[in-house]
Amino acid sequence: ALAVLPNVPLEDVPVGKDEHDNVVKRIVGEVPTRPNWVKEHFEIGEALGMMDFERAAKLSGARFTVLKSQLARMERALGQFMLDLHTTEHGYEEVIPPLMVRDEVLFGTNQLPKFEEDLFFTPHGDGRLGLIPTAEVPLTNLVREEITAHEKLPLRYTALTPCFRSEAGSAGRDTRGMLRQHQFYKVELVSITDQESSIAEHERMTQCAEEVLKRLGLPFRTVTLCTGDMGFGARKTYDIEVWLPGQNAYREISSCSVCGDFQARRMDARYKDKDGKGNRFVHTLNGSGTAVGRALIAVIENYQNEDGSVTIPEVLRPYMGGLAKIETK
């Protein structure tokens, strides 16, 4: 019965009902005046002949996309750029984890038992394996049922993985384009800390995710989620919302949460206290650094030109053979 009760918010989390009660923490970058020729990402992608929703639907049904040519290359470039930034400058260790996990692993990061309908499962042996909805699941569970030496903390892991979500309960939301998919790539950040360091680590992790958008030259804002909009396992969450000119709106591209010992208790993950006297539960944090598909959308919409071409952000050009612009073949 306890397993379906959510985590307790920290004292400084704003109390509220839904996303309207979230509090803007900071705004970075100017939101430019919107010229009348601005289009949404799917219009641009289809006109370039590099984003195909019809064929994707033929293969798999709704909420799938086929990316081709230079947009496929740019999606790959974005993932590489994010991984390189987090591993070389932010101190994260790269991991390639399994994409299918056991039920007890999904329990550890609180997808089960409450959010089973959001997941895809595949039969395996006498049981089943769940497809990961986020790399938070395997990365956080790396310390499950283990006692980590205090001097090894913090552990910082990053992974670029596909993520799989049934999107139950999202009927009619973001039905056009690539915003809400059953399958998408994401670069995840996970930190395992001692009990004293988790709050500071939360600020640090959020800044690591923000740095991705700063280097890409994308306008964004960071908001503190109120109690009514927070996830099940979080004690405090910052959402980073990137500006999408095509939608004329800020949309979530990253969510960074500190979970305290909520997941650690479910995973039985501990560390040896400094003086070695006893074992304490670790604190866990996770954040997107960032969703790759949504970063692609943001680049397409913010770097679009009136002639339908898309300028490639400077930081991505080394990953794209020096190409400066995507245009129709």
- 257 catalytic? Reply is no
Q: Indicate which residue of 191, 255, 257, 288 is catalytic.
A: 255
Given CA atoms 187, 117, 241, 313 in this order, what sign does their dihedral have?
A: positive
Tell me, what amino acid is at 94?
Answer: E
| Rounded distance between C-alpha atoms, residue 218 and residue 296, angstroms | 11
- 165 catalytic? Reply is yes
Q: Indicate which residue of 252, 265, 280, 317 is catalytic.
A: 252
Of all residues in the chain, what percent are helix, strand and coil, respectively (each to 5)?
Answer: 30, 25, 40
Q: Does residue 82 contact residue 210 with C-beta atoms inside 8 Å?
A: no
Residue 306 DSSP SS3: coil
Cα dihedral 43→47→50→52 (10° resolution): 60
Residue 213 DSSP SS3: helix
Q: Indicate which residue of 102, 180, 215, 280 is catalytic.
A: 180
Long-range contacts of 261-264 (CB under 8 A, 24+ apart): 261/195, 262/7, 262/110, 262/233, 262/235, 263/108, 263/109, 263/110, 263/140, 263/233
- 252 catalytic? Reply is yes
Q: Does residue 177 contact residue 115 with C-beta atoms inside 8 Å?
A: no
Residue 272 DSSP code: E
Question: DSSP H helical segments within the chain, as ranges?
Answer: 41-48, 53-60, 69-88, 103-108, 136-140, 198-216, 262-267, 292-302
Q: Indicate which residue of 63, 165, 266, 270 is catalytic.
A: 165
Write the CA distances from 197 to 58, 137, 255, 262, integer angstroms. 49, 21, 19, 15
The helix or strand, by DSSP H or E, that contains position 188, with its residue range, turns out to be strand 183-193
Strand duo 93-94 + 155-164: pairing: parallel
How many CB atoms within 10 Å of residue 198? Answer: 23
Tell me, what amino acid is at 119?
Answer: L
- 180 catalytic? Reply is yes
Residues labelled as active-site residues: 165, 180, 252, 255, 294
